[in-house]
Chains A and B, each alone.
Chain A
């Protein structure tokens, strides 16, 4: 899932300073699950903002809504009838959702209330770990299910650098060395031969924004 965190309150307040009527838009998927942008967080942020603005002598009128997902146009359509009542939209979705919201309502300023942080997994309530940098060519099949792009400070594809230190990465003693973990996992599974397989350097497609069409949908796209 996409993991995000709330922006510093001051920053949000500053972004909103010239608006008097704003709609806060939550997203009911990834950011709700990582406890940052669901219905509850929308309510809390609005309460905070309205207190702060009242104290500043510049009250603000805030609306609240939480969409199923902000990264699908169909759900964004639901705002069609209300958007005009507001001067700006404050989105609590991830960067993808915020941009889609801005694209759908190009005449409205759309402002981010969260910092999109990473693709991660949920270790415990409110605790997330980055797991994937969406590199575009996954090597987990050779690396015992441990991502060297995310877990190795240098994103090395073919074994550790010279800095591996007793299982830890040279950048920090609390950071486990990805390649040490990969070795241990493969060794335990009796698949160490995989570590000798050479992985070509990645094309780093992520240097330009990528589009992905699931294979089954390519034809339909063309036809459409």
Chain B
């Protein structure tokens, strides 16, 4: 295998502006952090105002709210931050280091060339009144409305001498952030003269940072908590709340002035549209979470596109801001000083062969391919060299540096040659898992068949149907296709492609009349040295039962 030499590298210029989508608590912080690293930021917000005024979830926490307000003021005067309100992303072409984002603001469409994109939407709230059989009224408030009242000095006064009841954790699964909102407002209400607070709660999950402390503090100050297993009876749209206390063995009835209903926290509606435009994965609830273990959680499946805070999972301000700090580091890593050294031959399209069928463009899990005038174009920055495209191209028009078709077929042939009567077993090994496992098995002198030959591939997605068939043609007795376990592939779908191709090959072997047992697909992990050994030893056993290949 030829390893890439430094001479195969070239320096290219990349765009260093950064697009931040979402001008709420996460986006403001992202703009400020990234501009702070010296990059120009374009901050896009769909509403007329940036988020510090409309972050209901913050208002209970004055210091943080103030911190956000200060940040907002700061970015508004920062010449490195261009703020576009009432704007949205229309399209985004290109790849990491060179995205062309088109943004619409009113009737205008503005185009920006950016090197990275940060999706920083906040969570949205939804009313759960119905779950409690309540309808909106003067005495029935959502948690957001209560937060708003508490944020305004004038409204706050009106809360004096009121009895306030909170309903939480009975209309939905308990969630620490939902509870945090209740605890924050409780503590704020307790500062107001004559306020009494009752909390009707389902499962109280106080395990999260600081919640236990707030819970205790509020109790010491006189808040009354009722832990219930089912919803209390709510009479006359919240005029009276009643439940049977099993300890006191009687009904406990309270008539609060105000009843505050918990809210559901969900992904921003914009997420799905943004994900579609950016071609990044969406989870079932509309969060843009990437649960691939090989990636940092703030990375999406596409290089240069990051997801922060509530974009990927419900996050309060502190965890959203931690995400943003991590992203700022990643962005610095990615964009540097705008010059990047990339491998020239990572994946190269042969212009004469390409018929622009778009197969590679549709298959590349990293969105690294676009098309120019006459051929597919692969961005050396975005390409991860997995080789999925090369193995899917109907014209064999793509070659991967160090793993060209010619080199691979050469390896296959030499791997099959020289069989001195022992079964020749070729194992195509993903370098991220099986190849390491195989080397481990070798170093620790685990049992390995004499006729085994490992062939390293950058990702199982590079294992071409052609290689498998040609290995049999050349006389291989057995072939193992060794990929990462499901969900563990660095290229998301490399193992899936490999599995598909093996299934295709099974069909062909059947047509041809060669025993299917000579071919096997297995998932492996890099630490599976002994697993590797037993897989290949098993294969040898099977071959011994079948006899050598009739194609020798």
Contacts and interface: CB of A to CB of B under 8 A. Distances in A.
Nearest to B359: A125
B396 interface: yes
A50 B395 CA distance: 21
A41 B394 contact: yes
A201 interface: no
Contacts of A55: 512-514, 550-551
Contact of B508 (A29, A33, A43, A48): A48
B470 A10 contact: no
Given A54-B551, A55-B551, A124 B362 contact: yes
A125 B469 contact: no
Contacts of A44: 465-466, 469, 508
Interface string A50-92: 1110111000000000100000000000000000000000000
Interface in B112-127: none
B357 A33 contact: yes
A54 B550 contact: yes
Contact of B551 (A38, A43, A51, A124): A51
A41 B395 CA distance: 8
A19 interface: no
A41 to B, nearest CB: 6
Given A32-B394, A47-B470, A52 B513 contact: yes
A28 to B, nearest CB: 6
A50 B394 contact: no
B394 A125 contact: no
B535 interface: no
Contacts of A66: 395
Contact of A40 (B394, B511, B513, B514): B394
A10 B469 contact: no
Interface of A, helix, strand, loop or mixed by DSSP: helix
A52 B511 contact: yes
Contacts of B355: 28-29, 32-33, 38
Nearest to B475: A54
Contacts of A52: 511-513
Nearest to B472: A51
B396 A125 contact: no
B473 interface: yes
A51 B550 CA distance: 9
B87 interface: no
Q: Which of B363, B465, B512, B514 has the most CB of A within 10 A?
A: B512
B358 interface: yes
9 contacts: A9-B508, A38-B394, A40-B466, A41-B394, A43-B396, A52-B511, A55-B512, A56-B513, A66-B395
Given A44-B465, A51-B513, A52-B511, 15 more contacts: A9-B511, A28-B353, A28-B395, A35-B394, A39-B397, A40-B393, A40-B396, A43-B466, A43-B470, A51-B472, A51-B473, A51-B551, A54-B551, A55-B514, A125-B359
